[in-house]
Homo-oligomer: A and B are copies of this chain.
């Protein structure tokens, strides 16, 4: 991180090689929808057969959600200087409600485009013409949904959420004489506790449409980002995660940020926010959007502030408006907008321990005080809606007054802003503009439920998108974990997307290793939440991995995990030989003392007595002592009744 960055040369830019090798035993598959150009990507993880000593079963591939787009597909030609194919282009064109503009609408965008000094670092691919809704048209997915239209985007996400489950079940059933039993086993799942979420057994395109129409889910899909693979954010879908990237005045070049993006989606980032604040934000963003298969979010006020030399009080609606249009025409899919920071809320933060910690929030607070009136984000909110619906940019209504410490959690400033965000949600929905709501921050565990419940009530179930929350302040260097605890908890309660926190939070800028650590932590937190809610099929991957673990299929155990590389590396530290990967023991107990081996002997013992596994319970009971039989066949017998 500290070495001076190499000068960035657009003409020599290359994809990060670490981000494109397929994951072990994985291949990309595409599930076709109702039309040939709806090709929904998933990752199929193939498995070896169960060893003979455990029953010689075939273990069909497990399908998992895949955010990595064409990266990692050996069939795809990757050149980040050209960008990704525009897979949604035809869908957008077919709707015939947009027009291609002859040039950029934003003054700043035109100025940058004309500046030849930027040529060396500019994205060198085809200079797209921006697209915008025709006059009077509304191109938001919400608008289509409310008119009853099921878009290809909606069908795409429906297929994506189902994870090819039916094919997996069919392949289990066909896997051999015990196929039906295998299918029953792999599909078994504990009932969830959903706190009011409605999780259908199968996601249909119509269900997606209805959720988007009522605002309970969003599909961030700017018409200027046709390269993106549609995904959905809502409490009745799989919990998603966001990864933040972005340079600051102190570090990071364009190529590092593109690398972080491809790296983030390899490990499961569902969306990526570009939070750059340094130089060349505009050019960096173009590189990222053109190469990103996931929706990109930004905080436009950061760039607007750069344009006024960092002086918050000099910000104006005109500068902000030009920035929104600049970024909308580049293809940013959602904007964080801190329109809930009202003048009268600012003094509520004076008694806080850590004041206002949101950058956007503090900028707007300063502006409000300097001008002694409500911010242009609030007074021009409907004007912003008009821009959003012309490109289908979704709102991420920012929590500028989120708590920056346990001390400040759920205070009047935070909760007042939340109510205003709920009202702004209704305004946006009046315009058929998609909305999600940002949430904290730092919240001790016992206050998380209150925060979630207030959000659901006051924002009418618009998707909640939280940063953690961190459940304690005392572990700098481990805030991916302090916040992973809060993230899993609030995801269980109903949060739709979790914004990751890296180990560097509060301390420094994350490098690639930190980005990965943050992502994996949040993937597992999101998955723990899916299990807890009872998301249909969520337990399949756990079941498959645990079966592999029990059967000593080491490579399958690694490959079914979120990070096969690290799992293998850890195993190699103690047992480096390849032969250990098929050994029926592990390093924790050694070859002569293995609980799983003993368990198998228990099963064999039962089988030797003529007990099929299906009858084992009953048989076991029959084999018990006279005292047990006298007790009437209860499994549990009070101690005093046993001799």
Contact = CB atoms under 8 A, between A and B. Distances in A.
A345 to B, nearest CB: 8
Contacts of A621: 344, 347
Contacts of A477: 561, 563, 566-567, 569-570
Given A477-B563, A524-B482, A541-B474, A635 B344 contact: yes
Nearest to A488: B485
Interface string A469-482: 00111111110111
A248 B587 contact: yes
Contacts of A457: none
Contacts of A410: 190
Interface residues of A, number: 158
A170 interface: no
Contacts of A574: 1-2, 250-251, 504, 507-509
A107 interface: no
B346 A475 contact: no
Contacts of A407: 188, 539, 542-543, 546
Interface stretch (A78-86, A208-216, A597-605): A597-605
A249 interface: yes
A59 to B, nearest CB: 13
A423 interface: yes
Contact of A445 (B529, B546, B619): B529
A27 interface: no
Interface in A538-580: 539, 541-543, 545-547, 549-550, 557-558, 560-563, 566-567, 569-571, 573-576
Interface stretch (A159-167, A288-296, A356-364): A356-364
A427 interface: yes
A142 interface: no
Which of A473, A547, A557, A574 gathers the greatest number of chain B CB atoms within 10 Å?
Answer: A473
Contact of A481 (B509, B521, B541, B570): B521
A192 interface: yes
Contact of A492 (B346, B446, B523): B446
4 A-B pairs with least C-beta separation: A347-B620, A355-B599, A350-B616, A249-B590
